[in-house]
Amino acid sequence: MAEQRRVYASGDRVGATVRSGTRRRSAERLSVDRIVAVAIDQMRTHGYDAVTMRSIARELGTGPASLYAHVANRAELDQLVVGRVCALWEIPDPDPERWDAQLRECLISLLGILRAHPGVARCTMGMIPVERGMLAVVERLIGLLKAGEVPDQYIAWFVDVSSLFVGSVAAEEDIWRERMADIGEAPSEEETVVEVREVFSELPVAEFPLLSGMAEAMTTGTGDERFEFGVDVLISGLKALSAAR
């Protein structure tokens, strides 16, 4: 039994030696950080729908009930996940000569972050940023918009609109990715495009004179091109409204 004395790391409880037969089985103490990190990793690897309290607990070597000592429920865990990921969003120091190009890069960068963390965008819907890390990011985004002399009220509303847009694009991509994974043998993006193009070009001309002639345009453009068009629309619109005010 002497070999089974408890061993403490400095200031931490990691490494505690577990006596057989006892209730506490985890070799390492649970924490919100560990739970969130595993959730993010599993969302990336398996998609949002595959991540459950059970899958997280399994990887942490415990049962799902143990997670509730650290997170109130699944919804709170989702919000913690978003906070962790969105805190990675970096906003550069504003350059008044090119604030709009900087803004474009930022929105593209946010989509990149969400793409690097598949599934997380699914958690962003309905979230009000009140966590300090995210507020710090919002603060910097506001600085960028002020460099473009955007009126305060428009800044406030544009922060909402643009982040919602990026989040929803990412969420849709997530949904598509998971849907494709479910099918097992996923058609390539190109195959899908060809297929949808056929649907459109085979529509009856009498009933769909415009759409049938626009099969090419409707199916042209990578996801990036479509997204960047949307960002350009948002930024051009903001500039036009600001100038008109």
**Among a second copy, DNA, none, partner that 7 touches (CB below 5 to 8 angstroms by kind):** none
Work out whether 179 is an interface residue with DNA (CB under 7 A). Answer: no
Q: Does 237 bind DNA (CB under 7 A)?
A: no
Identify which range of 14-22, 167-175, 216-224, 227-235 contacts DNA by CB under 7 A: 14-22
The conformational region for residue 188 under phi > 0 = left, psi -120 to 50 = alpha, else beta, is beta
The binder of 198, among DNA, a second copy, none, by C-beta within 5 to 8 A per type, is: none
d(CA 58, CA 55): 5
In whole angstroms, give the CA distance from residue 154 to residue 234.
12
Cα–Cα distance for residue pair 42/29, rounded to 1 Å = 20
When asked if residue 18 is in the footprint of DNA (CB under 7 A), the reply is: yes
Angle at 55 between CA 49 and CA 56, to 5 degrees: 105
Chosen from DNA, a second copy, none, partner binding at 54 (C-beta under 5 to 8 Å by type): DNA
Count CA atoms closer than 13 A to 124's CA, side-chain side.
Answer: 27
Token output for 141: 């985004």
Residue 26 interacting partner from a second copy, DNA, none (CB closer than 5 to 8 Å by kind): DNA
Q: Is 123 in the site for a second copy (CB under 8 A)?
A: no
- Closest to a second copy by CB, 21 vs 126, is 126
If DSSP codes are grouped into helix, strand and coil, which group holds residue 138? helix
**Given the rule CB under 7 A, which residues bind DNA?**
6, 13, 16, 18-19, 21-26, 29-31, 51-55, 61-66, 68-70, 73-75
